[in-house]
């Protein structure tokens, strides 16, 4: 059973160097800027253009969504570092998809791995998910590495499924399971 109280209301999750907070309209301008960044667009395969008004509307309505979890990543002073989400919730199979995008100034410092770990802890222990899965392009080795460090395993490869800048790319399928996640996190009794 999924624990709806862990999806609505939206939680605040605090880590060592960052905090995951409910995505809201106060994040909209930073979020919109990120959607304009060519490198983020390349790494996430974003083709659509968004207006600021669309992003404001999006951020404003995230708090009311019962079947997904959209959180902003902030430093401990409240500075915007990016956003992440659990989406495509499948209640019968207790699974969901995951996606994340940090702003360029936040990448490469271990913050993504920390944010993903916090979200997975919440997904498995509080929400009650069994499986969290994602897609990542072969052109994004940094994300693949961060996902592996956070506990995702490579499950498959959709060959030449993504066309970007005149080249074909593979889409990699990765997933993390609650059973493996618990095994990877030592319990007090085991330490």
Ligand X SMILES: CC(C)(COP(=O)(O)OP(=O)(O)OC[C@H]1O[C@@H](n2cnc3c(N)ncnc32)[C@H](O)[C@@H]1OP(=O)(O)O)[C@@H](O)C(=O)NCCC(=O)NCCS
Which residue ranges make up the site for ligand X (CB under 6 A)? Answer: 40, 43-44, 82, 100-102, 107-113, 136, 140-143, 145-146
CB closer to ligand X out of 71 and 102:
102
The residue among 91 and 109 lying less far from ligand X, judged by its C-beta, is: 109
Residue 19 Cβ vs ligand X, minimum distance, rounded to whole Å = 15
Contacts of 183 (CB under 8 A, 6+ apart): none
Our CB check for ligand X shows the closer of 11 and 112 to be 112
For ligand X, the closer of residues 129 and 172 by Cβ is 172
124 or 137, CB closer to ligand X? 137
Q: How near is the Cβ of 45 to ligand X at its closest, in Å?
A: 8
Q: What is the dihedral of CA 179, 182, 187, 189, to 10 degrees?
A: 10
Rounded to an integer, what distance in angstroms lies between the CA atom of residue 166 and that of residue 10?
40
Q: How far is the CB of 103 from ligand X (least distance, A)?
A: 8
Q: Which is closer to ligand X, CB of 7 or CB of 40?
A: 40
Q: Which residue is nearest to ligand X (CB)?
A: 112
Tokens matching residue 153: 């395993």
């Amino acid at each position: 059973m999924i624990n709806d109280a862990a999806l609505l209301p939206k939680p605040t999750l605090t880590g060592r160097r960052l905090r995951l907070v409910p995505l809201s309209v106060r994040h909209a301008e930073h979020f919109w800027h990120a959607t304009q960044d060519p490198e983020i667009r390349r790494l996430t395969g974003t083709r659509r253009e968004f207006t600021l008004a669309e992003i404001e509307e999006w951020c404003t309505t995230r708090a009311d969504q019962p079947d997904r979890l959209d959180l902003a990543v902030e430093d401990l002073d409240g500075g915007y570092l990016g956003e992440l989400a659990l989406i495509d919730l499948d209640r019968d199979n207790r699974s969901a998809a995951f996606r994340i995008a940090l702003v360029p100034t936040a990448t490469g410092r271990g913050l993504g791995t920390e944010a993903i770990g916090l979200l997975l802890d919440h997904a498995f222990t509080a929400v009650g998910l069994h499986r969290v899965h994602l897609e990542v392009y072969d052109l994004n080795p940094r994300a693949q590495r961060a996902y592996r460090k956070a506990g995702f395993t490579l499950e498959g490869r959709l060959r030449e499924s993504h066309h970007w800048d005149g080249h074909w790319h593979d889409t990699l399928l990765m997933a993390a399971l609650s059973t493996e996640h618990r095994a990877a996190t030592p319990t007090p009794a085991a330490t």
